[in-house]
Amino acid sequence: MVPQKNWTRNTVIFGSIALWGLLLISCVTVNRAVLAPPTIPGAVFTGTKECLECHKDQASHFASSTHARVMVADPKLGDTGCEACHGPGSIHVKSGGARGTIVNPGKSPEACFKCHLEKRGEFSLPNTHPVLAGRVSCIDCHDVHAGDAVKGFGAAMESQNETCTKCHTAQKGPFVFEHGAMKEGCTVCHSPHGSVNQKMLVARDANLCLRCHLEAPGAVGQINANAIRHTPEDHATRLMQGTCWSAGCHEAPHGSNANNHVRR
């Protein structure tokens, strides 16, 4: 159910003609470069050893990072791990770290999008963190210089949900009645990079909950959900009216201090 387009073919045709015209004029009259982001004009690779001179804190544990394992050493320069994301660093080194001489993924996600192409698409969706708007950056959630880029996994010291709850404190709890899904991680229900659904939900319907709470098919025609206390519970007629977390139902999906079925 997508409405009809309004763009006309003539708009595209005449727009293209105008664009080509401008390009023709500029190409024959100007001998200057325009640079695609993220690019450092005139810079060449120097190797990670140069970076260590000033950025020891960031570089010293890079070998343990998720990103380190995809690097193939350059036969001439050795490891170019830092420059894979920050761009060639020769001018940055020569200028002693002058502004604008190095790509900073903390300021713009363009460097990250070079490899994580699909993230540009996800951050372009209607429901996302405002990364493209410049108010949140990739490094607010990911530590790219050491350890697992997704915090809290493996043998890391952090807990799994810290990345989310440092900003979303109200969802952190603790609640008297926890929702077990929080133990699995916020990303079980939310797509933090973006979703077609409101609130970055993985699904905008009862399938979101039934993935884990479809206890049994029950009798013919039944949709049994959340019947974890030894009683079948046919939710079919309730699901006709809306989602599991609708008003009057399980309104406290992050946990509740007043109801052990996270109803309020």
Partner 1 sequence: MHAKLFRYIFRSTLIAGFTLALSGARAATPTDAFPTFDSYIKISGQAPSITGDEAAFQKRLQQPQDGGAGIEDLHYTKDYGKDKTVTFDGRALAGSEDYLAKFNVTKNDFGSFEIGYKRFRTFYDGIGGFFPLNGTWLPLKPEDLHVDRGEFWVETKWNVPDQPSVTLRYTNSTRTGQKDTTIWGDTDFTGLPNNVPPLSPARKLIPSYRDLDEHHQTLEGTVTHTVGKTTYLLTLLGDETNDVDTRYGTRYPGELKLFPTPASTVLVPSANVNNQVRYYQTDGMSTKTFAITGKTETRFSDKITFETGLSYQLLHSDFIGDRPLYTSTPTAIGAVIAPSDNYLNLSGGSKVKIYRATVGLTFKPTGNFSAKLGLKGEDEYTKGGGSFTSVTAAVNTTTGVVTIAQTPQAEYSRIKEQSLTPALDLNYTGLKDIALYASGSQRIVNGDERYAAPYNPATSPVAPVANLANNDLSRDNARYVIGATWRQSLLLTLRGEVFYKDNTNKSIGYGVNMGDYYVLSSQFTGLKLTATAKLNPTLSCTTRYIFQKGKAQVAGFQPAFPEYDSMDQKNHMISETIDWNPIAQFYLQANASVVYNVIGTVYPRAGTVPATATNQSYDANNVLHNSDNNYISANFLAGAVLTKQDDLQIRFTYYRANNYNAALANLTTPYGAAAEETSVTAGVKHKFSDRIFGEAKVGYLDSKNGTTGGNTNFRGPLAYVSLEYAL
Within positions 130 to 169, which residues make up the interface with partner 1, using CB under 8 A?
Answer: 130, 133, 135, 153-157, 159, 167, 169
- Please tell me whether residue 211 binds partner 1 under the rule CB under 8 A: yes
Q: Give strand pairing partners of 190.
A: 201
| Residue whose C-alpha is closest to residue 56's, from 124, 145, 137, 128 | 145
Peptide bond into 88 cis (omega under 30): no
Total Cβ atoms within 10 A of residue 161: 20
Upper half-sphere CA count for residue 86 (Cβ side, 13 Å): 26
When asked if residue 67 is in the footprint of partner 1 (CB under 8 A), the reply is no
- Could you tell me if 185 and 102 are in contact, meaning their C-beta atoms sit under 8 angstroms apart? no
Among 64, 94, 106, 140, binds partner 1 (CB under 8 A): 64
Instruction: Rule CB under 8 A: say whether 72 interacts with partner 1.
Output: yes
Among the listed ranges 44-52, 85-93, 116-124, 137-145, the one in contact with partner 1 (CB under 8 A) is 116-124
Stretch that binds partner 1, among 45-53, 86-94, 137-145, 193-201 (CB under 8 A): 193-201
Nearer to partner 1, 49 or 205 (CB): 205
Pick the closest to residue 64 from 47, 81, 42 (CA basis).
Answer: 81
7 binds partner 1 per the rule CB under 8 A: yes
Please say which residue, 49 or 121, places its beta carbon nearer to partner 1: 121
Separation of alpha carbons 56 and 50, rounded Å:
10
The angle formed by the CA atoms of residues 144, 146 and 148, to the nearest 5 degrees, is: 75
**Segment interacting with partner 1 (CB under 8 A) among 2-10, 44-52, 85-93, 137-145:** 2-10
106 binds partner 1 (CB under 8 A): no
Ranges within 223-242 binding partner 1 (CB under 8 A): 223-224, 227-232, 236-237, 239-242
Q: Is 76 in the site for partner 1 (CB under 8 A)?
A: no
Binding mask 12-51 for partner 1 (x = CB under 8 A): -x--xx-xx-xxxxxxxxxxxxxxx----xx---------
Return the range that interacts with partner 1 (CB under 8 A); candidates 45-53, 85-93, 115-123, 137-145. 115-123
Of 94 and 115, nearer to partner 1 (C-beta) is 115
Sequential DSSP letters for 175-234: -SEE-THHHH-GGGTB-TT-BSSGGGBS-SSTHHHHHHHEEE--STT--EES--SS---B
